[in-house]
Chains A and B, each alone.
Chain A
Amino acid sequence: MFGYAGKILIVDLDTGRTHTEPLNMDYAKKYIGGLGLGMRLWLDSTKQGVDPLSAENTLVLALGPVSGTMFPTGGNGHAFIAKSPETFGVGEAVSHGTFGAELKRAGYDAVILTGKSEKPVYLWIDDDSVQLLDAANLIGKSPSETEEAIKDELGDYYVRVASIGLAGEKQSRIACIINEKTRAAGRTGLGAVMGSKNLKAIAVRGTHDITVAKPNEFMDMVKEFHERMKGPATQKYRTLGTVENVLINNTLCCMPTRNYSSARFEDAEQVSGEAVNENYVAKIIACNSCPMRCEHEAVIREGPYKGTMARIEYESLWALGPYCGVNRLDAIIKAAEICTYYGMDAQSAGVTIGFAMECHEKGILSHDDLGGIDAHFGNADALVALVEKMGKREGIGAVLADGVKAAAGKIGRESEKLAQHIKGLEVTGYDLRCLKTAALSFAVSFRGADHTRSSAYAVDMKGKVDRLKAERGRGKLVKDLEDIYSLLDSFIVCKNAKATFYKEIAELAKLYRLVTGEDTSAEELSRAAERINTLARLINIREGLSRKDDSLPWKVMNVPIPDDGPVKGAIVTQDELDLMLDDYYETRGWTFEGVPKIAKLKELGMDELTALVAGKEA
């Protein structure tokens, strides 16, 4: 069968032994690859209740069937999966670049990392030759420095590297895994999981050919998608980039500002996508095989932060900017660079600093608690100082570097009400009080507060529904969008390319057929998508999550939007959330408690997993 390498690499960090196993083709067929396959492999390799930062929490790196091919954005992704140290449920993060394609050419569909190394090591995958090498000299280095050092050591400059920074080494719960210097498997703290294994980096060299089942038709499809990706469907990513959202979200009054104190930032113009592009973006670059090229590189050429270079996206800009009340782009770009340097999720870092700033404003964190940092909203210097402290886990940084939920737990004094997260994962740049479909999608997202498990926010923002209304039917909207997103993450295709799939799942099915040569249909893929989402739910249930965790941040449910305008007073009540949850669970074939019914599992061909819901599904 084309598309899959047919082989999985298993690395036991306890003993240093490695071996390969054939890919379970039943899993591949049912769970596609990437996110789906990775979760399935993770489930098999761990026990219920595993401590996320213990040796027993397996870290899975998974690729999809189109990885390594020329399909635009499809060839270049990889997914990391483990139990999240932030949510204690499914931890997953997808990143793009070239790393995934290289790993596929090395001949693997997935790498399963178990145990914990005694000493810091890095994994060197050179086609069939797999070694754990000493990483003592890499300790303390940033992902970018680590990559350079490994290339020097191996004497091969086309080696692709994914690594953690100091934040991951110190097991900060918002640490990420960064490949090719600027691309991050950012969310849910998987850098901490990697750090807990004493694994500093994974370096890959792959030299094997990648071929597809139907090369000529495949190339026709690639050509077609090249054209689409140069058209209106992806214009945003190619021009201003995701930072375009600043003014859009601000105009619609759905940009959480000053730790959710407001839904609009009065200085939005100063930190807009337009301003970033005009004053700082030096170059837009691409991941492997991508004609959209969306990665905006911001460079600071003068002033106190001269010489700073950081990739800038809406979420990082928003979290480090408006969410902290900061209106200085140079400081925001500097803070983003520091996040990348230490290997921290910039979204989570920004939201946590916004939280700390409000704690300071409300007298919960004193000047002394903050180590003398004047952490008032809008203080750009305080932002930069706090990110630096978090990266190093120094002083207050050690409290904040585990994210907003853990920080509130340590600080106490009702600070948890100021901690805006879902399931432990920090919120993102969409005010859920006035985006009720998005509110549902965030509440049910299996990895916590996140806009990338579905694009439900777009349904609200584009006016396809009344965004202030909670009503039946939103469950189906969210489910359908989740299904597409989970497929994209399993193939793996970049979510920025979603709009180029005009016929959605039908075209993903065509892509699957042309690459693998296996017959499949839109219906079959839809079932796979449902299966993948259900699997994530089963994992969360096994790890103890339930309906009560499908909740919303305290402020979303208790503090109405104060800003004058059409959304003034908006809030999501428990009744509204319950109505939407009931609707969503019903649509998914789950019980009132959000447990997949055994009949549903059987319908989806997941019979072997029914034990996970035994006694819970009545």
Chain B
Amino acid sequence: MVKIHERKFVSVDTEKCVGCQTCEYACSFTKEKAFNPMKSRIRVVRINQVANMAVTCRLCEDPACVAACPRDALTQSEETGAIMIDKDKCNGCGWCIEACDYGAMMLHPETKTVYVCDLCKDQGEPQCIKWCPEEALTLVTSDVLAQKARIGAVKKLFQEKKK
């Protein structure tokens, strides 16, 4: 069995994200052959001009969406951590949408079942990452995120000491 910390998800560097929504188009084109942010598995939020961030599934360790589904339509892949949806079981009740703290779970405007980032398993790599012009998106494990934060903090500390 694969360990949790080896699961990789799409992480957004808020310093780099400029809110261009290219990821939304790349996602909807990959998944739905159309340009339509309403059908993208990653969505951009612009709180104000200087606060931009794309948001998608975090592959939670104990996913609230899975726990919330009364019809057992959602399961988490043991291998990748991605949330898998049994469209036949999903009736679009939206409990998983309410349960997700990140707004990563969405109701498809046409199929009326929920959909979520599947890490582009059919394409081999998440297409949003491939297309992001700012290289703001990366596929990382929680461990790597922690490492990056740690190194960044220490670097900053030493720079401040130099001053």
A interface with B by C-beta (< 8 Å): 68-70, 72, 75, 98, 105, 158, 181-182, 207-212, 215, 219, 226, 229-230, 282-291, 293, 295, 297, 299, 309, 311
A-B contact count (CB 8 A): 81
Contacts of B48 in A (CB 8 A): 181, 309
Task: Decide if A105 touches B36 in the complex (CB within 8 Å).
Answer: yes
Contacts of B32 in A (CB 8 A): 209
Closest to B25 in A: A70
Contacts of B26 in A (CB 8 A): 70
Closest to A212 in B: B35
Contacts of B35 in A (CB 8 A): 68-70, 75, 209-212
A288-B21, A290-B20 given. 17 additional CB < 8 A pairs?
Answer: A69-B35, A70-B22, A72-B22, A98-B21, A208-B36, A210-B34, A210-B36, A226-B133, A229-B133, A283-B18, A285-B46, A285-B49, A285-B50, A286-B20, A289-B21, A289-B25, A290-B22
Task: Decide if B34 touches A211 in the complex (CB within 8 Å).
Answer: yes
Which residues in chain B, 4-24, are within 8 Å of chain A measured between CB atoms? 18-22
How many Å lie between the Cα of A282 and that of B52 in the bound state? 12
How many Å lie between the Cα of A284 and that of B15 in the bound state? 10
Task: Decide if B22 touches A289 in the complex (CB within 8 Å).
Answer: yes
B interface with A by C-beta (< 8 Å): 18-22, 25-26, 29, 32-39, 46, 48-50, 52, 109, 131, 133-134
Contact of A286 (CB < 8 Å), options: B18, B29, B38, B109: B18
How many Å lie between the Cα of A233 and that of B36 in the bound state? 29
Contacts of A285 in B (CB 8 A): 18-20, 46, 49-50, 52
Contacts of B131 in A (CB 8 A): 226
User: How far is the CB of B82 from the nearest CB of chain A, in Å?
Assistant: 24
User: How far is the CB of A309 from the nearest CB of chain B, in Å?
Assistant: 7
Task: Decide if A207 touches B38 in the complex (CB within 8 Å).
Answer: yes
Closest to B32 in A: A209
Contacts of A291 in B (CB 8 A): 20, 22, 133-134
Closest to B52 in A: A285
Contacts of B33 in A (CB 8 A): 211, 215
Given contacts A70-B29, A208-B36, A210-B36, contact A230 B19 (CB under 8 A): no
Closest to B50 in A: A283
How many Å lie between the Cα of A288 and that of B19 in the bound state? 7
Given contacts A70-B25, A226-B133, contact A309 B50 (CB under 8 A): yes
How many Å lie between the Cα of A207 and that of B39 in the bound state? 9
Task: Decide if B49 touches A283 in the complex (CB within 8 Å).
Answer: yes
Task: Decide if B49 touches A309 in the complex (CB within 8 Å).
Answer: yes
How many Å lie between the Cα of A72 and that of B35 in the bound state? 13
User: How far is the CB of B97 from the nearest CB of chain A, in Å?
Assistant: 15
Given contacts A219-B29, A297-B49, contact A284 B133 (CB under 8 A): no
How many Å lie between the Cα of A92 and that of B58 in the bound state? 45
How many Å lie between the Cα of A372 and that of B88 in the bound state? 74
Q: List 28 A-B contacts (CB under 8 A).
A: A68-B35, A158-B37, A181-B48, A207-B36, A207-B38, A207-B109, A208-B36, A209-B34, A209-B39, A210-B34, A210-B35, A212-B35, A215-B33, A230-B133, A283-B18, A283-B49, A285-B18, A285-B20, A285-B46, A285-B49, A285-B50, A286-B19, A289-B25, A293-B18, A293-B20, A299-B50, A309-B50, A311-B49
User: How far is the CB of A109 from the nearest CB of chain B, in Å?
Assistant: 16
User: How far is the CB of A219 from the nearest CB of chain B, in Å?
Assistant: 7
Contacts of A293 in B (CB 8 A): 18, 20, 133-134
Closest to B20 in A: A286
Contacts of A69 in B (CB 8 A): 35
Task: Decide if B29 touches A215 in the complex (CB within 8 Å).
Answer: yes
Task: Decide if A181 touches B49 in the complex (CB within 8 Å).
Answer: yes
How many Å lie between the Cα of A297 and that of B52 in the bound state? 12
Task: Decide if A282 touches B21 in the complex (CB within 8 Å).
Answer: no
Contacts of B38 in A (CB 8 A): 105, 207
User: How far is the CB of B59 from the nearest CB of chain A, in Å?
Assistant: 24
Closest to A287 in B: B20
User: How far is the CB of B130 from the nearest CB of chain A, in Å?
Assistant: 10
Closest to B43 in A: A158
User: How far is the CB of A407 from the nearest CB of chain B, in Å?
Assistant: 32
Contacts of A182 in B (CB 8 A): 49
5 A-B pairs closest in CB distance: A291-B133, A209-B34, A286-B20, A70-B25, A283-B50
Contacts of B39 in A (CB 8 A): 209
